[in-house]
A and B are shown apart, each in its own frame.
Chain A
Amino acid sequence: MKIDDKLALDLFHVDKQAHLQIKPEICRKCPHKACTYVCPVENYTINGEDVVLSWEGCLECGTCRIVCDQGSLTWDYPQGGYGILYRLG
């Protein structure tokens, strides 16, 4: 099953503002780009030399916050009531 099909099953209350941000120039130089394979929703993808972040499908697990040791990522929870809303948790 593809990750997009899985995320289509989940309920999100998407905020207008991004709660995750990366600094592309730092990611370009990152020696491991671990976010691109550990993220359980594949939020981080590689496009040529660049890491591209799409935060809308974020499940707020915090894994990327821990693997990013290059100081590229600004991680915060979305504002109250926004983000993932599990119905069956």
Chain B
Amino acid sequence: MDNENSENKFDTIIVGAGPAGTTAALVLAKAGLNVLLLERSSSPGSKNVFGGILYTTVLNRLVPNFWEEAPVERHIKGIKIYLVSPQNAVSIGVESEEHNQPPYNNSFTVSRAAFDKWYASKAEEAGAMLLLNTQVDDLLRVNGKVAGVKVRGEEGELYADTVILADGVNSILAEKAGLRKSYVPRQVSLGMKEIIELPRNVIEDRFGISGDEGVEIKYMAGDATKGIWGGGNIYTNQESVSLVTWLALDPLIKSKRKSTELFEQFKAHPFVKNYIKGGKTVEYQAHLAPDGGYDDTPRYFTDGLVIAGDAARFLNASLHYEGTNFAMASGEAAAKAILHARGLNDYSAKSLAYYQKLLEKSFVMKDLKRYRKMNHFAEKNPEFFGPYFDVITQAAVDYFAVKETPKRSQEWQMIKDFRKNLGKATKSRFPLLGFCWRCLKGGLSFL
């Protein structure tokens, strides 16, 4: 059964036409390789969900001024971050006029169904072959080395010198390749999303933007997720907003709360509902995202195979929720490693280890390492996202309370209440000390 030399043989086969796979296809096709890009959906992007912001440092290098032709919604001018309790909210916002200039801080809201389709067409223009409706079920091996893929249906077996797995967070193929075990709940978050239509002028008035300006609103755990590690987001599109809730799966399971109910409670939260008031939901979506960071990345290459994007768990799940940029950067690095291996005419793991070198040098590994403690912190300090948030937001509200007490004594009272509330919330003997220590540790792992 040696089809290795038949017409079915490609230089590289890439599984998955998301940002990781398409970037690899684009770079390899530009370099003149015979590339096959396989996608299980009937249109690239129609299986894909993200929150809202496409980060584009890599894209803008590969397709300069891409926003002039790509289907982007709005460029992101600012962000507002909320900590919420049932009654109170503290928020901090950042906005910049600089972000209204090219390259728009490399942040654009897009619809993945539209963007991924456009991006895949760029890889096709460069010479890659895109095959849709194609479900890859397994990897093929020749003498122990990955040498192609097995496709459900007519195409059957397809061979290549190298295979790139860019099949996203649920990469069953990475499991079949023996490069990682199946996930445990602490390694993923569940995202749920609604696209809510609103008239353009309502969006502009409500969010304080005009033209193609956009904003992100971010809710950090707390009452937004009923104390479960996770959060919520609102992103502005042209004529809709994307409303997202994401929940770390392990604490979600332990909470025994229904994900669908948590999502509805988020929508109805006093500090959320006004942003979506009067809107009409037009689509409902759900997807997993990799969590766990650097310490949970698998081995991402072997003989004849490299893994990129979410399949390799490359996502910066910190305050900067960056997956698209990591997917594109790792897709580009995967392509470069394959070109390097081609130069040596050696597709073994030893030669493909160049992929790791490229990643170590890029922001992908550096950022993953930078935030490696964050998930551990979130896991070990669940009280941070429930009781602490209540106490912090209460103190902020007390500070601004209008009373006939002189401000100095009001502030003392606020500090006393803060300590008392902390004590109640954590039942610790030294609540303030514990709180400061955790803030320091947490701050260091987040920032």
| Residues of A near any B CB (own CB < 8 A) | 1, 3, 6-7, 9-10, 13, 32, 34, 37-42, 59-63, 65-67, 76-81, 83-89
Measured CA separation A61–B151 after assembly (Å): 21
> Which parts of B6-46 form the interface with A (CB within 8 Å)?
40-43, 45-46
Chain A residue at minimum C-beta to C-beta distance from B50: A89
B195, CB-defined interface residue at 8 Å? yes
B259 touches A10 (CB 8 A): no
A10 touches B41 (CB 8 A): no
B169 touches A86 (CB 8 A): no
Question: Chain A interface mostly helix, strand, loop or mixed?
Answer: loop
B269, CB-defined interface residue at 8 Å? no
B182, CB-defined interface residue at 8 Å? yes
A61 touches B287 (CB 8 A): yes
Cross-chain pair count, CB within 8 angstroms = 126
Count residues of B near A (Cβ-Cβ below 8 Å).
51
> Which parts of B128-185 form the interface with A (CB within 8 Å)?
132-135, 152-153, 169-170, 172, 182-185
B286 touches A77 (CB 8 A): no
Measured CA separation A89–B153 after assembly (Å): 27
Also in contact, A32 and B253, with CB within 8 A (given A80-B132, A88-B282): yes
Specify which of B40, B48, B112, B258 is in contact with A80 (CB 8 Å cutoff).
Answer: B40
| B232 CB → nearest A CB, Å | 14
Specify which of B45, B184, B252, B264 is in contact with A89 (CB 8 Å cutoff).
Answer: B45
A79 — which chain B residues lie within 8 A by C-beta? 135, 152-153
B47 — which chain A residues lie within 8 A by C-beta? 60, 83-86
Measured CA separation A51–B434 after assembly (Å): 44
A38 touches B283 (CB 8 A): no
Also in contact, A38 and B42, with CB within 8 A (given A59-B286, A61-B190, A81-B133): no
A-B contacts, 10 listed (Cβ < 8 Å): A40-B259, A63-B188, A65-B170, A66-B184, A66-B185, A66-B188, A66-B249, A84-B46, A86-B48, A88-B240
Chain A residue at minimum C-beta to C-beta distance from B285: A86
| A50 CB → nearest B CB, Å | 19
B364, CB-defined interface residue at 8 Å? no
| B49 CB → nearest A CB, Å | 6
Measured CA separation A10–B286 after assembly (Å): 11
A59 touches B287 (CB 8 A): yes
B287 touches A81 (CB 8 A): no
Measured CA separation A77–B415 after assembly (Å): 55
